[in-house]
Amino acid sequence: MVRSWFNAPKDKSNDAKTEEAEAPSFWPPLKADVPEAPPSRQDDEQPEPAERPVAATPAEAVAPSPARPDTTVEARSPVAAHRTAAPVAAAASDAISIPAPAQPAQRLADTGAAAGLDPWVPSTTDGVVGHTMYDLPNSEDGTITVLLPREHIAATPSQALVRIVSGDTRTYLGIVVAGPFAEPDGLRADAGLIVTTSVRSQPFQPQYHGRIRVELLGEEVNRVIQAPRFRPLPGSPVSVLDDEETTRVLQVSGDIRLGRAVGHDDVPVGLPSRSKNILPRHLGIVGTTGGGKSTTVAGLLAEGQRAGLAIVLLDVEGEYTHVHEPTTDPTMVRLLASGGLEPAGIPGTHLYRLVGRETTNDAHPHSHEFSLRFSDLSPYTVAEILDLNEVQQERYFQAYDVAKSLAAEGRIRGFNQQLDLAELDDFEQGCPGVTLAIMRSLVGAFIGVADKGEPSVTEPSIADQSASILGRIRDRKPTSPVSWKAVQSRLARLQRLRVFDVSRGQAQPLDLDALLAPGRVNIFDLSDIDGTDLRNIVIADLLRATQTAQERRYAAYEAAPAAGPPRTLVIIEEAHEFLARNRVSSMPVLFGQVERIAKRGRKRWLGLAFVTQLPQHLAPQVSALINNWVIHKVADPAAISDLRQSVSGIDDSLWQTVRGLAPGQAVVACGHMTRPVLTAIHPAAAQLRMVD
């Protein structure tokens, strides 16, 4: 039995029994030496050498290998040995009897020198960097091992694209997913010889070659990549694709420019703004704090605006209130300059803040204050936000029904909209005309009736309907004033936020139609809203309002198609707070609403971008809606393993890379791409406010 020189004996740790017979030696075992070795040994027991750990302990490492007595290096050089050993091994027929030297180190060195420096003469074909290796029992579908001479190692960094022209005339494209590793020629890296001499500070260093693992992207047929049905044959030449071809194969570009592929300065990475498969299928921008998410978002704002998107940014920390100004961050300025770019603000942004709340930029040139309309909130959402129990909810809905009927009958002063209650979806929104004050007044009247006191209706917009209202309430025979009072006090809490139905000073409910003009960037500074609940109410309301407006705009476009559909992108910062995993069960309506918006958004060109440093806190239902990802550094193993459930196509080595990405680097995995690509995100030209 013979093995080719790069074949290694079985991993000792796995099988101590054979250790003796299979000493860590690079010499092909002599047939006579190992009579007990089963004939199928070679097939079962040859993992790829360099991926395996070197000897675990020094003791193990320096364990003397059983000498093969009286041996000499045969006249053939390791080069020649390699060249011929492989085919012979494949044939697995004849054994060659090679005597081993008495002093292996010296003899091997001599032999190496005699054979010239390079034990493996590379192919003479231009551009060929290496050759495919034979398959091993542990070879896996979809990947293949490639060996390369030392001088070509630098040409095959991780994620480089390669072409393999197989001996059967098929051509394959692949990508480097492991390595490049350096392996000693003719020896295992953990051979006793190498380990011992290194330990004794006189390292014996044989020549070495490179090894990479290539994941097959597919077979190239007429420049189209198809799923491969075969594998490249052993010994097939492998060449590296240039930037132009890499661009074509990876298909990672788009008019919304994000950055450049790492290692390929001329391969731009971006999102196609007009593709229905990308932004409307939603985007996740994740990574630890300081990973570069906000910089990515700033780029998205600038590029999205250029592409004509309407953008609504929910800026939870008030980081983006200065993006209309050019950046003054020295690092960014320098990085921009090195790319031939200059700092630049995003023109014409609009800044919104909730009535009565502060903004992180008082001097913004287009600043607006907005209030919320209580009637926009679905009664179910209200019940969720107020955390009403079942009995209280039932009370609330009784009052709400009375309010609805008043609205439908035109009995609310100042509200004369024609209403068709059957058309109203209580899960989507509230009843137009029904204010928080009306609800409070009605609940107060219910309490009065239940208490058998002297109920009255004081809210001015319905006071003149008092008699009719009290009649309706009495018909319902309310009891247990206690739970009614609980509802009342919670509504009062909502009222104290002073954000519903107020038109104080400049504050107005939003007119979303104006906000969704192409190229308009709207920044909602939510930094001064304390309390997750209120912030979530605001976010939920803005989402709903945006969706309603976008659907209107999209319907108008469909009725009379213009140049292109209106496209809207909503970016939600700190998304894990809004859509936290541990709140899914307590806020099913809110989640249901977001889910609906995300699903309907696909058809009506409303994209959501979720930005979070804690992707593992994001509800899985939300992650499942996200088809495109920009993944900055994620160090937390739990977060990575969570992401792996949601993001497909990222190989192990790339996930490994994610853990150590530099600020501004990201793995971009989007629907239009052949495969995810490691990207250096462009520095931000616009000013970001530092938050602590």
Ligand X SMILES: Nc1ncnc2c1ncn2[C@@H]1O[C@H](COP(=O)(O)OP(=O)(O)O)[C@@H](O)[C@H]1O
Q: How many CA atoms lie within 13 A of 553 on its CB side?
A: 23
> C-beta of 663: minimal distance to ligand X in Å?
3
- Cβ atoms of 513 and 422 closer than 8 Å: no
Check if the beta carbon of residue 580 is closer than 8 Å to that of residue 254.
Answer: no
- Of positions 292, 304, 326, 448, contacts ligand X by CB under 6 A: 292
Question: Do the beta carbons of residue 314 and residue 353 sit within 8 Å?
Answer: no
Stretch that binds ligand X, among 55-63, 85-93, 288-296, 336-344 (CB under 6 A): 288-296
| Strand partners for 270 | 257
* Residue 287 binding partner per list ligand X, Mg ion, none, with a CB distance cut-off of 5 to 8 Å that depends on partner kind: ligand X
Listed ranges 283-291, 350-358, 370-378, 382-390: which one lies at the site for ligand X (CB under 6 A): 283-291
Find the shortest distance in angstroms from Cβ 130 to ligand X: 33
Q: Does 301 bind ligand X (CB under 6 A)?
A: no
Q: Which among 676, 689, 671 has a CA at the least distance from the CA of 282?
A: 671
Contact flag: residue 343 with ligand X (CB under 6 A)? no
Measured CA to CA in angstroms, residue 145 lies from 212, 372, 626, 677 at distances of: 6, 61, 34, 21
Q: Is the Cα dihedral 668, 673, 674, 679 positive or negative?
A: negative
Segment interacting with ligand X (CB under 6 A) among 138-146, 177-185, 285-293, 367-375? 285-293
- Does 294 bind ligand X (CB under 6 A)? Our answer is yes
Among 97, 331, 456, 506, binds ligand X (CB under 6 A): 331
Smaller CB distance to Mg ion: residue 213 or 682? Answer: 682
CB of 293 to ligand X, least distance (A): 3
> Segment contacting ligand X (CB under 6 A): 103-111, 243-251, 494-502, 676-684?
676-684
Minimum CB distance to Mg ion smaller for 264 or for 293: 293
586 in contact with ligand X (CB under 6 A): no
Which residue's CB atom is positioned nearest to ligand X? 664
Token reading at 341: 């770019």
With binding defined as CB under 6 A, does residue 150 bind ligand X?
A: no
Least distance between ligand X and beta carbon 577 (Å): 15
Query: Are 79 and 119 in contact, with CB atoms under 8 Å apart?
Result: yes
* Pure H helices in 251-357: 293-306, 330-338
- Of these, 664, 673, 676, 687, which contacts ligand X (CB under 6 A)? 664
Give the nearer residue to ligand X in terms of CB position, either 488 or 613. Answer: 613
Closer residue to ligand X, CB minimum distance, 238 or 640? 640
295 binds, among Mg ion, ligand X, none (CB under 5 to 8 A by kind): ligand X
Binding site for Mg ion (CB under 5 A): 293-294
Within positions 509 to 538, which residues make up the interface with ligand X, using CB under 6 A?
none
- At closest approach, how far in Å is the CB of 297 from ligand X? 7
In Å, how far from its chain's centre is CA 143? 24
**Identity of the residue, 29 or 292, whose beta carbon is nearer to ligand X in the bound complex:** 292
The binder of 448, among Mg ion, ligand X, none, by C-beta within 5 to 8 A per type, is: none
Query: Which SS3 state, helix, strand or coil, does residue 571 take?
Result: strand
The minimum distance between CB 335 and ligand X, in angstroms, equals: 5
Part of the chain binding ligand X (CB under 6 A), chosen from 250-258, 289-297, 648-656, 671-679: 289-297
User: Binding pattern to ligand X, positions 606-645, x when CB under 6 A?
Assistant: --------------------------x-------------
96 binds ligand X (CB under 6 A): no
Helix ranges restricted to H, 339-480? 379-385, 390-408, 436-450, 460-463, 466-475
How far is 491 from 388, CA to CA, in rounded Å? 10
Choose the stretch contacting ligand X; rule: CB under 6 A; options: 76-84, 103-111, 150-158, 292-300: 292-300
Q: Which does 607 bind (CB under 5 to 8 A by kind): Mg ion, ligand X, none?
A: none
Taking the least distance from each CB to ligand X, the nearer of 289 and 479 is 289
Question: In this structure, are strands 237-240 and 128-132 parallel, antiparallel, or unpaired?
Answer: antiparallel
Strands (DSSP E) contained in 154-255 are 161-165, 171-184, 208-221, 224-226, 237-240
Rounded-to-integer distance, Cα 333 and Cα 336, Å? 5
* 681 lies in the site for ligand X, by CB under 6 A: yes
* Nearest distance from C-beta of residue 249 to ligand X, angstroms: 25
* Least Cβ distance, residue 664 to ligand X (angstroms): 2
* Shorter beta-carbon distance to Mg ion: residue 290 or 620: 290
Which residue's CB is nearer to ligand X, number 160 or number 631?
A: 631
Backbone φ and ψ for 616, nearest 5 degrees, come out as -75, -15
Q: Does 262 bind ligand X (CB under 6 A)?
A: no
Distance between CA atoms of residues 141 and 374, nearest Å: 58
- β partners of residue 595: none
- Report in angstroms how near the CB of residue 293 gets to Mg ion at its nearest: 5
Task: State the Cα–Cα distance between residues 39 and 28, nearest whole angstrom.
Answer: 14
CB of 289 to ligand X, least distance (A): 4
Burial class (CB in 10 A: 0-12, 13-18, 19+), 384: buried
Q: Is 214 in the site for ligand X (CB under 6 A)?
A: no
Figure out which of the listed residues 41, 152, 188, 293 binds ligand X, where binding follows CB under 6 A.
Answer: 293
Rounded CA separation 677/254 (Å) = 13
If you search the block for the tokens 């002297």, which residue do you land on? 454
> 3-state DSSP call for residue 260?
strand
Residue 304 interacting with ligand X (CB under 6 A): no
Name the nearest CA neighbour of 207 among 155, 128, 153, 162.
153
Report the nearest approach of ligand X to the CB of residue 255 (Å).
Answer: 19
DSSP code string of 611-672: EES-GGGB-HHHHTT--EEEE-----HHHHHHHHHH--S--HHHHHHHTTPPTTEEEEE-TT
Residue labelled with tokens 């052949």: 674
Q: Which region, left, alpha or beta, applies to residue 605 given φ > 0 means left and ψ of -120 to 50 means alpha?
A: left
Residue 147: its H or E element:
strand 143-149
Verify binding: residue 291, ligand X, rule CB under 6 A. Answer: yes
Residue 290 Cβ, how far from ligand X at the closest point, in Å? 5
Q: Which residues bind ligand X (CB under 6 A)?
A: 287, 289-295, 331, 335, 632, 663-664, 681-683
